């Protein structure tokens, strides 16, 4: 009854609904996927997912972590990709992969955490090399990943290994991948050690803050999925056709860190402040997302 009421309110126009419910609450309350053809709708940070499938909680070479969040859902392409990558991790001596957040059962904005992960094409892979893939549900709630960079964010630490670099290379070399987000320190290390003749895969590795305990894989829009918005600028444009081992990378361990310590004086914003994902109502999302909520 409550779900039906919330969905009905979401389908009203803003004027009819008055104070419209937040999209994060609507999508966050869905416990299962819609019975629709799989489709990524909208952009990675403003959209939803139709017909998502669930990554099995445990497989021969993977385990989904933090099961209480119910975020081990994604497009079929993402689920298959994670299965494939976890199998490849065995070649590195890992037991497989611990997979963190993917998407909610119907995608959309989340009540906590991510601004993206909304269309079923994003997944977080833990930096912790699994010794085994038979953790209990309780263990999966209490165990934590490891950080691979120093506290000052400038360098990798002793947790970083050659197998981490090999795994990221395999992950980025897959043609299904659009880009991978990881701590700048990790990319700096990889730029130094990758062979000059074999650095093309580094273009897909993008530095970002707060990605020191996991790396974030983002797949390309599935072929023929007309409602999925390709991210722009592309990784090629961001790296000016190169591998990204340049001043745009060193910015993360110089200017960025300096501005964290000494924030610049705020300037008067031009125009209204942009909403965050947790402030979206259904009016902010693609219209097709209303159908995703209303579907069985």
3-state SS, the chain, equals CHHHHHHHHHHCCHHHHCCCCEHHHHHHCCCCCCCCCCEEEEECCEEEEECCEECCCEECCEEECCHHHCCCEECHHHHHHHHHHHHHHHHHCCCCEEECCCECCCCCCCCCCCCCCCCCCEEEEECCCCCCCCCCHHHHHHCCCCCCECCCCCCECCCCCHHHHHHHHHHHHCCCEEEEEECHHHHHHHHHHCCCCCCHHHHHEEECCCCCCEEEEEECCCCCCCCECCCCCCHHHHCCCCCCCCHHHHHHHCHHHHHHHCCCCCCCCCCCCCCCHHHCEHHHCCCHHHHHHHCC
pLDDT of residue 244: 95
From first to last of its 296 residues, the chain has per-residue pLDDT tens of: 445 545 555 555 444 445 789 999 999 999 999 999 999 999 999 999 999 999 999 999 999 999 999 999 999 999 999 999 999 999 999 999 999 999 999 999 999 999 999 999 999 999 999 999 999 999 999 999 999 999 999 999 999 999 999 999 999 999 999 999 999 999 999 999 987 778 899 999 999 999 999 999 999 999 999 999 999 999 999 999 999 999 999 999 999 999 999 998 888 777 888 899 999 999 999 999 999 999 99
CA gap 51, 39 in Å, rounded: 7
Contact 22, 261 (CB under 8 A): no
Predicted pLDDT at 3: 56
pLDDT of amino acid 268: 79
Alpha-carbon distance of 76 to 80, in angstroms, equals: 6
Q: Domains of the chain (ranges plus CATH)?
A: 1-30 (no CATH), 37-258 (3.30.1380.10)
At residue 64, the pLDDT reads 98
Backbone angles phi, psi at 201, to 5 degrees: -65, -25
Closest among 99, 104, 100 to 47, alpha carbons compared: 104
Q: Distances in Å between the alpha carbon of 155 and those of 6, 46, 127?
A: 47, 33, 16
How far lies 259's CA from each of 99, 183, 207, 266, 295, in Å? 32, 17, 17, 12, 46
How confident is the model at residue 14, as a pLDDT? 46
């Amino acid at each position: 009854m409550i779900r039906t009421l919330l969905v009905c309110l979401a389908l009203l126009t803003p004027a009819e609904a008055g104070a419209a419910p937040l999209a994060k609450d609507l999508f966050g309350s869905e416990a299962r996927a819609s019975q629709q053809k799989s489709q990524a709708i909208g952009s990675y940070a403003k959209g939803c997912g139709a017909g998502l499938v669930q990554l099995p909680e445990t497989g021969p070479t993977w385990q989904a972590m933090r099961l209480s969040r119910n975020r081990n859902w994604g497009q079929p392409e993402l689920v298959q990709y994670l299965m494939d990558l976890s199998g490849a991790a065995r070649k590195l001596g890992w037991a497989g992969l611990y997979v963190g957040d993917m998407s909610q059962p119907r995608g959309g904005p989340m009540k906590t955490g991510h601004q993206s992960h909304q269309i079923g094409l994003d997944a977080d892979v833990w930096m912790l090399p699994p010794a085994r893939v038979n953790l209990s549900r309780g263990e999966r709630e209490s165990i934590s990943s490891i950080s691979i960079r120093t506290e000052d964010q400038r360098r990798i630490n002793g947790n970083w290994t050659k197998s981490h670099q090999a795994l990221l290379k395999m992950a980025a070399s897959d043609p299904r991948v659009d880009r991978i987000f990881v701590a700048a320190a990790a990319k700096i290390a990889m730029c130094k050690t990758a062979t000059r003749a074999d650095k093309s895969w580094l273009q897909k590795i993008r530095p970002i803050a707060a990605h020191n305990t996991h790396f974030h894989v983002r797949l390309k829009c599935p072929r023929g999925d007309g409602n999925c918005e390709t991210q722009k600028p592309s990784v090629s444009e961001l790296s000016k056709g190169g591998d990204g081992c340049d001043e745009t990378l060193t910015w993360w361990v110089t200017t960025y860190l300096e501005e964290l310590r000494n924030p610049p004086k705020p300037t008067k914003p031009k125009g209204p402040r942009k909403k965050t994902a947790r402030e979206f109502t259904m009016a902010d999302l693609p219209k097709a997302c209303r159908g995703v909520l209303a579907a069985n």
